[in-house]
Amino acid sequence: MWLVRWIKLSFGLLALLVMPLRLNAQVDRITGRNFATRSEVLARHGMVCTSVPAATEVGIDILKRGGSAVDAAIAANATLGLMEPVSNGIGGDLFAIVYNAKENKLYGINGSGRSPLGLSYNQMKAELAKLHRETVPPTGMLPISVPGTVDAWAELHRKFGKLKLSDDLAPAIHYAEEGFPVTDLIAYYWAFGPRLYKGLPGAFFETYTLDGKERTPAKGDIFKNPALAKTLRLIAEKGRDAFYKGEIADKIDELMRANGGFLRKADFEKHTSTWVEPVSTNYRGYEVFELPPNGQGIAVLQMLNILEGFDLRAMGRNSPETLHAMIEAKKIAWADRAKFYADPAFAKIPLPGLLSKSYAAERRKLIDPNHASKKVEAGNPALNQGDTIYLCTADDEGNMVSLIQSNYRGMGSGIVVPGLGFMFQDRGELFSMGPGHANVYAPGKRPFHTIIPGFVMKDGEPWEAFGVMGGGMQPQGHVQVLTNQIDFGLNVQEAGDGSRWQHEGDNEPTGEKMTESGGYVEVESGIPYETVRELRKKGHDVRFDVGGYGGYQAIRVEMHDGQRVFVGASESRKDGMAAGY
C-alpha cells in the first residue's frame, strides 16, 4: 500500500501546484456550464453508458438486435470484465436494480457471494496470526469469497432476457479471442499489477501480461485473453452450472486445495443470488432507491434525509456551508454504517429506524454549523422503528437497468486459476474480525459490500438510473450527483462533471475508528479555494488529490411533447462514453 500512498501524495502536491493553471485553462462552451466536458447524449429507442467505449457499443448492438436492457447490461458487463480487468470480472460480485416498464416496478438483485463454509472464525484468526495480521489481507487466499456475478447474470437473464445468454456473451468472447486496444486510464492502473501480485500462486502473469513476465499493456496495445474466451463459451453453452457445478468449479477447487485456499466446489454448488426489494426515501419530491445491506446503499438515503433539512440551493453549490453540511452528514451516516451494515442473514439491521425522517431529524442536530466533528457515535435507530464498474442501460420498451460489478480493491486478490482467464475478488477483506460486530467474519456469510446501484422515480415514473463506482466514495458520489441535479439544477452530464469531494479516515464496518482529526477531506481543484479556506477554519483537514472520486454513469428519462427521450451521461474522468439510437 506504500506505493498507492506515494502516488496519492505525489498527485495531491501536483494538484495543489497546478490548481491556478487548471482554473485558467477552462474550455469555453456556448451552452451549458463552462465546466461541462461534453453535451448530454440523447436518444429515443435505447441507451447504454459504460466506462469503456467498446463495451458501450456492444450494449447498443445487443439492443438493436432486439435484446432487452438486461441483455445489453449482461453483454456490456461481460465485455468490461475483459477490457477493464483492473476493476471487475466474473471473479467478482454484482448488484443491480431493474425497472420493468410493463409492471412499472423496480426489482433488486443481490449477487454477492459468501465466505468459505470450511473456514471458521478461529481458523481465520489462526491464519491471520501466521501473517502477523489482525485484519483480513487484500491479497492471497483469505479474502476470497464465492464470485456471484455469473449466477446474477443467469437470474437477470431468466427473468428479463429476450436473447439467448450465448448471444449476450458472444461479443466478449469475440474480443477476448481477437484482441482489443487497451484504453488510457485502464492501462495506467494495469501497470501496478505485477508489483502487487508478485509471488502469489496461480496464473496472474500468464493471463494479464503480454510477455508472461512484467510487461502489461500500455495504451493502444492489443490484449487477448483466450482463457477467458473459453470460460465464457462454457458458460454460454452450459449456463451458470458450468461455473458453479461443472469443470470451472472443479479447476477452482483443485487450485485452492493445492495452494492452501479454503473455497471448495461445495461452496460454489450452494451459491445463490437473492432477489431483494429496493428501499427508498423521498428527497424533495424525488423517490431515491438503493438496495438494502449487506451493501452500503442506505448510507445515501440516510445522508439525503439529513440534508433535506438544509436549504442547499440557497446555500450555494460548492459553498463552505454546503460542503460542511454534506461532510458532517456523511460522518453521521458512516457511524451507523460502521455499526449496523452487514449480512441480514447473520445480523438484525434496524432498517426502518435508520431510514426514518424522525431519526434523521435527531441526527441532524449533531451538526454544528461552525465546527467539524472529531468523533461521531452510531445512533439508536431502533427507537424510531418503527478500483468497480458501473453501467446503465435502457431499451425501447422503457425497461432500464442500473448495474454495478466489482472485484473490490483493484484487480482483486491476485489469484488467477490457470486456464480460466479471470481473477478472484478480495471482497472478504471487508469483514470485521471484532467479536460481536454485526459484520464479523463467519463461514458462509456475505461480507459488507461497497458497490451500490441507484435509481430515482418521480411522480410514480422512472426518472434516472445512475451510479458512481469507487469504494467508500460511492454513497458520497451518489449524494453529490443527485444534489447537483435536484438542488442546483445541473443537467445529467454536468452533474457528473462538477468537481467532487471525498471524506476519508472515518468509522468503518471493518472496525477502524475515525481519526483524531475527524478524518480528512480530499477535494478536486475545481472546488474554490475560498471554500477550502473556510472549511479549514471550521476544523476540517482539507487536502487536494487527483483521482479517487469515482466513476459516474446515468440515464435520465425526459418527456418532450409527449414522447420519451433517454438522456445519457458518462464519467469524464474515465475512458468511457454514453451512446444511444
- The model's pLDDT over 511-566, given as tens digits with 9 standing for 90+, comes to 999 999 999 999 999 999 999 999 999 999 999 989 889 999 999 999 999 999 99
Which residues, listed in sequence order, are joined to residue 462 by a DSSP beta bridge? 457
- 203 domain-assigned: yes
Q: Is residue 297 part of a domain?
A: no
Q: What is the pLDDT of residue 26?
A: 64
Q: What is the value of pTM for the model shown?
A: 0.94
d(CA 42, CA 579): 8
Residue 446 lies in a domain: no
- Encode 59-75 in three state secondary structure: HHHHHHCCCCHHHHHHH
How many distinct structural domains can be found in the chain? 1
pLDDT at 382: 57
- 51 pLDDT higher than 80: yes
In a domain, 444, yes or no: no
Q: Is the pLDDT of residue 177 over 90?
A: yes
Cβ count within 10 A of residue 213: 9
pLDDT band at residue 141 under the 50/70/90 scheme: very high
**What are the CA-CA distances from residue 66 to residues 34, 41, 60, 174 (Å)?**
38, 21, 10, 20
Q: Return the pLDDT at 386.
A: 33
Mean predicted confidence (pLDDT) in 266-292: 98
Q: Is 97 part of a structural domain of the chain?
A: no
- Say what angle helices 357-364 and 298-307 make with each other, to 10 degrees: 60
**200 in a structural domain:** yes
**Contact (CB, 8 A) for 427 and 441:** no
Beta bridge partners of 240: none
pLDDT band, residue 62 (cuts 50/70/90): very high
pLDDT at position 479 over 70: yes
Angle (CA) 544-547-551 rounded to 5° is 130
pLDDT surpassing 90 at residue 498: yes
The pLDDT of 117-132, averaged and rounded, is: 97
331: Cα within 13 Å, side-chain hemisphere: 27
SS3 readout for 229-286: HHHHHHHHHHCCHHHHCCHHHHHHHHHHHHCCCCCCHHHHHCCCCEEECCEEEEECCE
Distance CA 368, CA 381 (A): 21
- % the chain with pLDDT above 70: 95
CB 47 within 8 A of CB 568: yes
pLDDT, tens digit, for every residue of 336-392? Answer: 999 999 999 999 999 999 999 999 999 999 999 999 999 999 988 853 333 789 999
* Residue 495 confidence (pLDDT) above 60: yes
Decide if 533 is inside a domain: no
Question: What is the domain extent for residue 233?
Answer: 59-90+104-270+417-430
- Report the mean per-residue pLDDT for the chain: 94
Share of residues in the chain with pLDDT > 90 (%) = 91
pLDDT at 9: 44
Q: Is residue 262 part of a domain?
A: yes
Cell of 490: 445541473
The predicted model gives 409-437 an average pLDDT of: 95
319-341 confidence digits (pLDDT tens) = 999 999 999 999 999 999 999 99
Quick: pLDDT tens for 70-105. Answer: 999 999 999 999 999 999 999 999 999 999 999 999
Q: Map 408-443 to HEC letters.
A: CCCCCCCCECCCCCCECCCHHHHCECCCCCCCECCC
> Could you give the residue numbers annotated as active site?
388
pLDDT value for 409? 85
Residue 53 has pLDDT above 50, yes or no: yes
CA-to-CA distance for 283 and 497, rounded, in angstroms?
22
